[in-house]
Every structure is written in structure tokens, then in C-alpha cells.
Structure 1
Amino acid sequence: MNPHLHDDDRQPSATYTIDDLPFLTLAAAAHPRMERMLILLSSQEIAEKEKTAARRLPHELISSRDVPPSLWARETAEMTLARCCHAPTLHVLAGSPFHAVRVAVARNVFTPGAVLAELARSDDGLISNTSAANPGLPLEDLEAAFLLGTVTARHGALLHPGVPQHIVDVAAEDPTWMVRCAAAAHARATPAALARLAVDQDAVVRAAAAGNPALPPHLTPMLAADSDRHVRARLAGNLACPAAAIDRLAHDPDPWVARAVAQAPALTEAAAVLLAADPTPEVRAKLAGNPACPARLLAALAHQRQPVGVRSAVAANPATPPPTVQRLAADRSRTVREAALQNAHSVVAGGE
């Protein structure tokens, strides 16, 4: 796919149908952007791309990034049509030799359910995943995609807004970590499923469970002591993380976790006090930009002895008291002054 030749704005067009493909291809070929792209390639590079394309089968060519310039206009035209809401056109484009076009059809909410069901059975991971997640896929086909489809189709089914509860429950025991990870992050994951996923053998699954707002509070002490720092960091970023767990994580020696706690939405005052004295400037900068940081600590972090990154974070923080913002607007650093002035302007604009 050539990303420079079309705007991926996801906006459907009711104007064009498949009958307009020749016209759209000519229009794309005549577009100034096409000319600029060709200028960037030497004649030798163009010839090599065309020669390579001639030796490949269509599906081998279009699934790679070696689409020759002679096909750029056609791909651009089909991408335009792939955002339409005309069912027969989308049905035709579902068989396009261009991978990007088939992905766009799989993503289009106007694509007929039968077409989405067919795409969900694709061996191509991105296409099957995108199709299964499309709200237009009927529930009976969603069930089939999950039970009979590939790993990526099962993962995509969990992203479908209408996925049934029993699929979420079954996914928690899937043999593939990617599917279990999606189940652990799902808003409708049950306490029993989260308890099982919180002790999963794969850290990425435990991390997804740790970040789920539905996480039962009794699981937080165990996750706060997890051996993997990514799990502990995800727990710190969970809005539902209990204060006791936040306070414990604030003492974590790993800077990765400390940064996560410093920007946690559930930040406690005790944790903020501890992190305000952290020797790592990056941790203090994260704290300084957190709207949950107490005002008195923001004033302290605005001191001239703090690094520019910390002071500028305080200056840009919407929770910083106006007197502190005004003081930072006269800071010796231009970066800090600009952040303070922008913050002050936003406050005034928001109050109008």
C-alpha cells in the first residue's frame, strides 16, 4: 500500500460505485501527489519495481510493499471506493488483489454481514481480526469466527461491541496468550476469570488483568508484588487501584513502576509526597504533570532548582494553581514560560 496517495479518513462516500472505478483510477493518476511520488523514484527504481512485480503472482505482489507505480492509481481508486456505503461495490472490493483495500472493506461498518463473515475466515491475520471486530458482523457469524476461526479472528471477536458474555468467559481459557490478553482487558470479564488471568503464566496477560477497572480489590496485593514490572506498572495505572496498593507501589525500586505511579489517576497524597523527592527527574516530571498531584506539591516542583522538564510539566498541568502558573510564566526558561502561558490561556478560554 502507498500511504501517500490517499487520505485514510474513514469517511464513507455514497457518491461512487464500482462502475466509477475507471474514472477514479484516471483521477488518481492525474493527481499532483502521484506526480510528486514518481519524482521521488528514479527510472531505475521504477523499472526494478515493475520487473519484480512481473515475476510475482498477484496475491504475492499486493500483500507486500512492492506495489509498482503502474498500479498506484488503481490502488488509490479502490481505496476511495472501499470507504463507500454501497453494498454491491463493497462485495466486489472484498476480492481486491490489494491488501489495503480488503482491510478497508473489513473495517467499513457498511460492509454487508455476509462479506464480513467471509473475510473473518481469511488466513490473513489483519483482515480476519478487523472483520471479526466490525460491529456489522452478525452475532451468529461472530460465534462462528470465534469458535472456528484463527487466533486473530478470536481476538477480533472479543473487540466486537456485541460479543456475548459466554465468549468472553471461554476466551479466558484460550490456549493463545493474545486471546487471553483480550479477555483479561475486557470490560465484562468476570471476577472469577480475572482471578484466573491474574496468575496467568504470561506476564502480558497478567498485565492486562492488572489494568482492568473491574479487577477485584483482593487481587491487587498479589499483582503489586508481581515479578514483572509491566504488571506492577499497569496496576498503578488502573483507576480502580486501591490506595493501599498505590502506596505500596510508590516504594517500588524500579523507575518504570515509579513513573507509572507518578502519573496514576488514583494517586494518593502519601505516594505523591514520596515521589516528589524521587532522585529521578523523569519520575518527578510525570508527577508534576499529574492533575491528581496535590497543589502544594506542584508549587514545590515549580521551584527554580527543579529541572526544566519538571517545571514545564507543572506549568502545563491544568490542576496547577493560578499563582504558580503566573510565577512560571516569568520563568527563565522559554519552554516553561510557553507552557505556562498556554495553560493560562486554556484556563481563561475554558472559563468563558
Structure 2
Amino acid sequence: MNHVLHGLAANPALPSEPVDRLIAVADPDLAEALACRPDLSHAQVRALASRFEEAAVRLAYEGRLSATDVNPAVQPRAALALLEEGTGRPQWARLFAADPLVESREKLAACPDLPRDVAAALATDPEVRVVAELALWTVSDLAARLAQHPHTEVRRAAAANEATPPTLLAALLTGEGLPAARSCPVCDRETTPFVHDPHCPDPDCELPPGAACDGSHESAAHDIQEAALRNPATPAAAAVFFADHPSVLLRQELAARPDLPPQVYARLAEDPVPWVRARLADNPAIDEALIRTLATDRGHDVQRRLAHHPLLPLDVLAHLASATRLGSPLLPRITAACPAEVEGLAASPDATVRMLLAQRRDLPAEIRDTLARDPDAKVVKSIAPHPGLSETRLRAMVERHGPRVVAKVAANPDATPALLEHLARHRPPVQKAFREIARHRHATAPALLACLTDRQARPIAASHPALPPAVIVELLADDNWQVVEAAAANPSLPPASMLELVP
């Protein structure tokens, strides 16, 4: 791979004429890079698409190719991409419905607004995978028909389709009211009864670990139920009976549903498996009483997930902050806190609570500045990237807390050029700070030259337009290909150098 050309292909300052030359000499990898340029003319798009179908597919998905630009006989995948985007021609669908390539028919089956005759043909396709793909995406009436298909893979796809009528989703979930399935992925391949070895030595085997069939297609039936429970269109009245199902996976899916009666959530809160209770803790539909119950649950991941609940009472948040390792995320309940609640959180005696509040980037100036003076370094690290902090305030953070806060101060969008140069000279050096400085819009040439001394910051600094042009040219011969590509993509690379590099 020519990394210089790949960098140039991404360079926004590259003139149009050298782009034409790159298109003319491109290989498939370079064509992919060129297809990402937002400034390609329509003529350049057509030229690139005519040479490389992978690039044509990308351009089709991005809406930069139209049906008049594509010949489905020459570039079938690009034509299928346009059909998937709803901009292909209906006659193409009829062409692909008769395509001998299964992959083309399968791709077609996922396209919206298929002509009825095409959908009907795909519904009787001899390849199950084509019919299953149709069942996953088709409209209600055909989904209802495919929900009763004799193969379990098609039924599983219909169970995941939100357009499948609720009565049939309930039937797929319970198994009642449908004709018995006649085949599944296991009995298609093996003589039953059969249980697939979880440690199967065959690298080409397509059966999942533990897949089993004794004539009742048990593992496939389980997969259908899992898909139906995950489907929000499945009636809750049918789903509630799975609260005591022996399958942990099914109880997990049930615990995530937001449409269950309170008594079912209460039953799931007593589930013996922590994974089920952790999924329940994520559920936005559980009430405050259940939130408080789960807040005392020491099962794996329950409290951490509960901390992200949008309706979490703030006193419970304070408890969770001290009871479990949350890291420093911006929690939904913190985001939703009203002004009075923000003041209360800022005054919390728990530094972790103050740190979590400091993740917000819209705090009132007085609270922002109060948190910037916090005695705890983790609070200061959290508030340091907040916009609006003065250079004096940012420098005071570094003087008080040293290397612990340098990288976060460097990430502040209002950090001045002088401050960034000061941080780049900090002793001891802070490697994470170099990366933040290297991508900062206010970084100066002296600061960026310091960043070039750090292995991880070097590729980032090489792409910064404030880097001196002579240095950018030198970096084109760097030992690190990432640095070479970044330098070639730098818009401050001298135009004469760009022209010299293009074949």
C-alpha cells in the first residue's frame, strides 16, 4: 500500500486535477479512500465508480450515485445498494430475483418496497436464507405468511420483524396455533437426535455451540422465542409467562422489555441469576420502589447498570457512587438534574458525586468555577474540559494537582496557545496530554513539535495544519506509516509537494 497516496486521497486541500490523476492510477484500496472525499464532482464519482465496484457501492449508499449512473449487469452490488436505499429501478428487482447467485437474491430480499411479484417469488425461493431475509424485512401480510413457514430459520426472522402481526408473534413465542415446523439448521445437516459439541473441531462448521434437535427442533425453537421476546411488537400478555422460564437468555430478554406489569418486574428482581437482574436495572420502565431494591443488589453489574437509569433518585445515585466503581461517565440522571438539584450535587460531601456532576458541559459559571477549585483531583479532572474556564483557572489546576490533571486541561476547548505550549513542556511529561495537544485547534508549532516526540501523539500531530510545512514534508519519509499518511493528508502540505507526489 502506498501510504503517501492514501494520505493525499484524504487531503481536503488537494486540487481537483490531482484527484483525477489519483482516480486514474488507483487500486481498490486507494479507490476506497478516494470515495470518502466529500468534494468529488459528479464526473469524478462516475469515473471512480466505473472502475471499482466497492467504491461504487459506498457512493451508492451515500447518495452520490443515481440509477442513471449504474448498469446492474456490470455492477450488480452497486445496483443492489441503490435498491436498498430506495433509489433503484423496479425492473432491477425482477432481474435480481432470478439471479443465480444466492447472495444477490438474499441482498434483494432485504430491500424495501419490493414489487409484489418479486416479493412473492422470493418467498418461495429454494434457499432458506433468502426466504429468512425476506421474512426479517417484509411487510405485514407477507410476514404473517412466513411466520408459518416450515423452516425454523424463516420463523425466527419473522419473529424479529416488527411488521409481523402481534397475534402471530404471540404464536411464535408460545408455539401455540401454528403448524409444526418441519426442519431446522440442525436436522438439515445431521441425523437426529443430535447435540452439537460446544468444542467442535471442524473450523467450517456453521452450527452454534450446543445446537440440538431430537425432532422437536429445540434449540431453534429457543432462538425463535428469543427473537420474539426482543421484538417490541410482541404482546406483553404472551411474554409475561417467561418470567419463570428455565432459560436464562429468555429471562434476560424479558427483563429488558418496557411493557410488563409491575408484578413481573418484581418477580425478575428476585431472579437467581445476576445477569437477569442487571438487564432489569437497565429497564427505563421499572419504578422507584424497584430501583431502590436493586440499589442494594450486589450481583455482578446490577448497581453499575442501575446508575445509568434515567429516573434514578439522587440519594440512590449518591449511594451507588460510593458502593460501586462507576468510572466517570455522564449519567442520564445527572444530565436531567434541574438547577436546584445541580446545586445540591455540587455541594455533596462525596467527591465521586461531585466528579459525576462535573462531567456536564453546561454548568452555570459559578458552579463550574467552584468545582474547578475542588480539593479532590478527580473532580478537577472531570471539570477541566468544561468550556468557559479561564487560562488563569486552568493554570491553577495544573499548579495544584500536577500531572493528574494535565491531559484534561489540555483537552479544554478554550485552552490558549500559550497554555498548550506550557503543558507540552510540563515535567514530568504527560503522554496523554501530548495526544490532546496534538488534536487541539489552538495548538502552535512549538507545542506540536513537542508532541512529535511522543509515539502515540506523533501521527495526530502530523495531521495538524499548524505544523510547519517543512516539517510536514520531512514526515512523509517517517518510519511509521500512520505518520506518513497523516502528513500526506495535512492540508498545510505545500501544494508543490502534493503535485510532485501524485503519479
CA distance in 1, matches of 2:487, 2:384: 28
State the Cα distance separating 1:186 from its structure 2 match: 1.0
Which has the higher mean CA deviation after the structures are superposed, 261-270 or 69-78? Answer: 69-78
Listed one character per residue, the Cα deviations across residues 18-70 of structure 1 (whole Å, up to 9, x for unaligned) are 146996994378799x96843259xxxxxxxxxxxxxxxxxxxxxxxxx9777
8 A contact 2:437–2:443 mirrored in 1: no
1:18 equivalent in structure 2? 173
2:139 equivalent in structure 1? none
The one-letter code of the counterpart of 2:200 is I
Listed one character per residue, the Cα deviations across residues 288-335 of structure 1 (whole Å, up to 9, x for unaligned) are 3433433545654466xx233332121355x66795895365142323
State the Cα distance separating 1:120 from its structure 2 match: 6.5
Aligned residues between the structures: 296
Aligned residue among 324, 336, 344 for 1:188:
336
CA distance in 2, matches of 1:295, 1:31: 64
Distance 1:281 1:178, change over 3 A: closer
Aligned residue among 351, 360, 373 for 1:212:
360
Q: Which has the higher contact order (CA 8 A, sep 6+)?
A: 2
CA distance in 1, matches of 2:384, 2:486: 27
Aligned residue among 174, 182, 185 for 1:27:
185
SS of 1:103 mapped into structure 2? helix
1:232 aligned onto 2:377: no
Aligned residue among 189, 192, 200 for 1:39:
200
Listed one character per residue, the Cα deviations across residues 75-117 of structure 1 (whole Å, up to 9, x for unaligned) are 65544333223124533344333334323333345x4455774
Identity of paired residues, percent? 18
1:249 aligned onto 2:397: yes
State the Cα distance separating 1:275 from its structure 2 match: 0.9
CA distance in 1, matches of 2:375, 2:249: 40
CA distance in 2, matches of 1:286, 1:312: 9
Distance 1:185 1:89, change over 3 A: closer
State the Cα distance separating 1:240 from its structure 2 match: 5.8
Distance 1:133 1:281, change over 3 A: closer
Distance 1:173 1:24, change over 3 A: farther
1:337 aligned onto 2:484: yes
The one-letter code of the counterpart of 1:134 is N
1:81 aligned onto 2:228: yes
Aligned residue among 414, 420, 423 for 1:272:
420
CA distance in 2, matches of 1:342, 1:79: 47
Distance 1:215 1:320, change over 3 A: same
2:322 equivalent in structure 1? 177
Alignment of 1:114-193 (within 5 A): 114=262, 117-118=265-266, 121-122=269-270, 127-128=276-277, 130-131=279-280, 133-135=282-284, 137=285, 142-146=287-291, 150-151=295-296, 159-161=308-310, 163=311, 168=313, 171=316, 177=322, 186-193=334-341
1:4 equivalent in structure 2? none
State the Cα distance separating 1:282 from its structure 2 match: 0.7
1:107 equivalent in structure 2? 256
8 A contact 1:25–1:76 mirrored in 2: no
8 A contact 2:196–2:211 mirrored in 1: no
8 A contact 1:13–1:83 mirrored in 2: no
CA distance in 2, matches of 1:40, 1:222: 61
SS of 2:386 mapped into structure 1? coil
State the Cα distance separating 1:187 from its structure 2 match: 1.4
User: Higher helix fraction: Structure 1 or Structure 2?
Assistant: 1
The one-letter code of the counterpart of 1:27 is P
CA distance in 1, matches of 2:296, 2:181: 39
SS of 1:82 mapped into structure 2? helix
The one-letter code of the counterpart of 1:332 is D
CA distance in 2, matches of 1:260, 1:158: 24
TM-score by length of 1: 0.61
1:294 equivalent in structure 2? 443
8 A contact 2:281–2:306 mirrored in 1: yes
1:60 equivalent in structure 2? none
CA distance in 2, matches of 1:29, 1:244: 72
Which has the higher mean CA deviation after the structures are superposed, 228-237 or 277-286? Answer: 277-286
TM-score by length of 2: 0.46
SS of 2:361 mapped into structure 1? coil
Which ranges in structure 2 are unaligned for 5 or more consecutive residues? 1-158, 203-208, 213-217, 492-503
- How well do the aligned residues superpose, as a CA RMSD in angstroms? 4.7
State the Cα distance separating 1:336 from its structure 2 match: 0.7
The one-letter code of the counterpart of 2:476 is A
State the Cα distance separating 1:276 from its structure 2 match: 2.0
SS of 2:250 mapped into structure 1? helix
Which ranges in structure 1 are unaligned for 5 or more consecutive residues? 1-10, 42-66, 345-352
8 A contact 2:435–2:456 mirrored in 1: no
